[in-house]
Structure formats: structure tokens, C-alpha cells
Amino acid sequence: SIEVAGASDEDADKYAMNFSPQAFWAETDTPDIAREPLQRPDFLPIVSSTTLAQSLIKRANGAGPTRGINGFVIELNTAGGHNAPPRGWKYEPNSEEPKYGEKDMVEVQKFAKVAKGLPYWFAGSYGRKEKLSEVLEGGGNGVQVRIFIIGTWMWCSLLRLD
């Protein structure tokens, strides 16, 4: 449910929203789309620490031993996009740039233990042959380069990782 500021319990029905895929698609030229039940998509959380990954595995509410988590993308602070702030909220002197430290780094070997057999990919300055090798040797499945996730099956022969 969604909390609406100032709404009383009696007003709850006014703010409720229901969505029926069958009703939605029935109003289009393609009503057959909604006849098959939708399958749950894979869930690959993007994390910036082993602590966050451990917390997700403990608290997720999906089915099975991994609670519905299908793998992880570990984005370090040098990955573009929406990075997590540094732990401790430190900033460079005389600057608004965040200052990342040792607590913000994730070691490939340590993450392998946290992942509990789930696949994982590293991002943030991992788009080089030696970094890909580090991830693969540490038990990972590949690296994320820009917006693409490059798996071991694609890059092993291309980079000749013997």
C-alpha cells in the first residue's frame, strides 16, 4: 500500500490502484498477450559492497535458497551512472567530489564467498583484459563495460584467456 499524507483510513479506497494485464490488453488489438501468465524476470541487484549483497540475500523475499536473487552486478565507484556515495560521506578538501576509500572497495575473492554460487559481474574500471582475468579467476562471470554485461562465454576466446 501507499501512504498518502493527510488521508484517513476511510479514504484508502480513493487512493488504491489496481492494474489488470488482461483488462489492459483486452482493450488493444493484441488481447492474446495477457493469456499466458508472466514469468518473474531475473533479479540481478546492482550493489557497491559485500555488506549490501549479504543483506539482500538475507532479506529478499523470493523463493529458493537465494530468495529470488539470480546474481549480482558489483559497481565500484569508478562505474558511471548512479554510484553509491562513499561510506562515511567523505569529500575531497575544497571540493564537492566524493572521496572513496578502502571501505568502498570490493575484493573479487571476498565477493565470491558472499555470492554463494550465484553469478556476478564487476563494473567500474574492469573493462581491461587483466581485470576480466582477475574476475574470472576469482570465480566471477565477467565484467560490465559501459551498459553491456560481457560474460565469460563471449570474451574467453576473444581475449585468449588460457
* 97 contacts 91 by C-beta, under 8 angstroms: yes
Q: Which pLDDT score is estimated for 150?
A: 52
- pLDDT tens, 82-118? 667 777 777 777 877 777 778 878 888 888 988 888 9
Q: Which pLDDT score is estimated for 154?
A: 40
Span 11-38, average pLDDT: 76
Q: Regarding beta strands 120-123 and 46-47, do their DSSP bridges make them parallel or antiparallel, or are they unpaired?
A: unpaired
Is the predicted pLDDT of residue 17 greater than 80, yes or no?
no
Is the predicted pLDDT of residue 119 greater than 70, yes or no?
yes
- pLDDT tens, 25-73? 788 877 777 677 777 777 888 888 888 888 888 888 877 777 888 889 8
Q: What are the beta bridge partners of residue 150?
A: 143
Q: How far apart are alpha carbons 22 and 34 in whole angstroms? A: 5
User: At 161, is the pLDDT very low, low, confident or very high (cuts 50, 70, 90)?
Assistant: very low
Span 130-148, average pLDDT: 83
Q: How far apart are alpha carbons 117 and 97 in whole angstroms? A: 36
Say what the alpha-carbon torsion angle 99, 78, 102, 85 is, to the nearest 10 degrees.
Answer: 50
Span 114-128, average pLDDT: 85
User: At 148, is the pLDDT very low, low, confident or very high (cuts 50, 70, 90)?
Assistant: low
Look at residue 148 and give its three-state secondary structure: strand
Q: How far apart are alpha carbons 110 and 113 in whole angstroms? A: 6
Higher-confidence residue: 40 or 143?
143
Q: Which residues contact 79 (CB under 8 A, 6 or more apart)?
A: 123, 124, 125, 144
Q: Which residues contact 26 (CB under 8 A, 6 or more apart)?
A: 34
- What Å distances lie between residue 41 and 34, 62, 76, 133, CA to CA? 16, 12, 25, 29
- What Å distances lie between residue 101 and 29, 57, 73, 88, 110, CA to CA? 55, 25, 20, 9, 17
User: At 147, is the pLDDT very low, low, confident or very high (cuts 50, 70, 90)?
Assistant: low
* 99 contacts 91 by C-beta, under 8 angstroms: yes
Cα-to-chain-centroid distance, residue 130: 23
